[in-house]
Amino acid sequence: MQRKGLILVYCGKGKGKTTAALGTALRAAGQGFKVLILQFMKKKKNIGEINALASAGLPIELKQYGTRLFFKSRACEWIDILKAKEGLEAFKDALESRTYEMIILDEINIAIDFGLLDCEEVCRLIASKPPELHLILTGRNAPIEIIKLADLVTEMREVKHPYDHGIPAQKGIEY
């Protein structure tokens, strides 16, 4: 039986969207799937998932398309748009190559929400995916168009967060 590729969306204001996607990537790699993770709006080198993937020898590639300062400034600049478009081009190339069994578009929802990417263009690419490819999209503020295309949508809801008590991001938890 041919695999039915699913579209999964992890969204919402709570923590855990990227973590859920990475856990699914790990599970897929354990089944022999080749996985590509494209991180939008991120550009950090010393983060746990990059360090772990580099040393694990798993069939998981991770590429980042963002700048280090974006989330701090919250101001879209031409370089942010350029990096997001480079990430979308990498997605298009990966779809055409048919090399991967799973592709994760980490933080693509927020890249659309911030106006870095056009939702219609992203939806056209999603609709062109090979039928057996699993696709995961993460990020806050998932557009309704993305939600309609999805087979599974999980919304993370923040109930309590250490930031609220002045505890900063911690190694091994947030990065």
DSSP type of residue 135: E
Q: Along the 175 residues of the chain, how does pLDDT read in single tens digits?
A: 678 999 999 999 999 999 999 999 999 999 999 999 999 998 877 788 888 888 888 999 999 998 877 555 556 788 999 999 999 999 999 999 999 999 999 999 999 999 999 999 999 999 999 999 999 999 999 999 999 999 999 999 999 988 888 998 888 888 7
In the block, which residue shows the tokens 């911030």?
114
Report the half-sphere exposure of 67 (CA within 13 A, side-chain side): 17
SS3 172: coil
Q: Are 16 and 24 in contact (CB under 8 A)?
A: no
pLDDT of res. 73: 54
Could you tell me the two tokens for 82? 């350029």
pLDDT of res. 77: 82
Torsions phi, psi of 163, nearest 5? -55, -35
pLDDT of res. 75: 66
Domain boundaries, the chain: 7-156
Question: CA gyration radius for the chain?
Answer: 16
Other C-beta atoms closer than 10 Å to the C-beta of 128 total 10
CATH for 7-156? 3.40.50.300
DSSP string over 74-88? ----HHHHHHHHHHH
DSSP type of residue 169: P
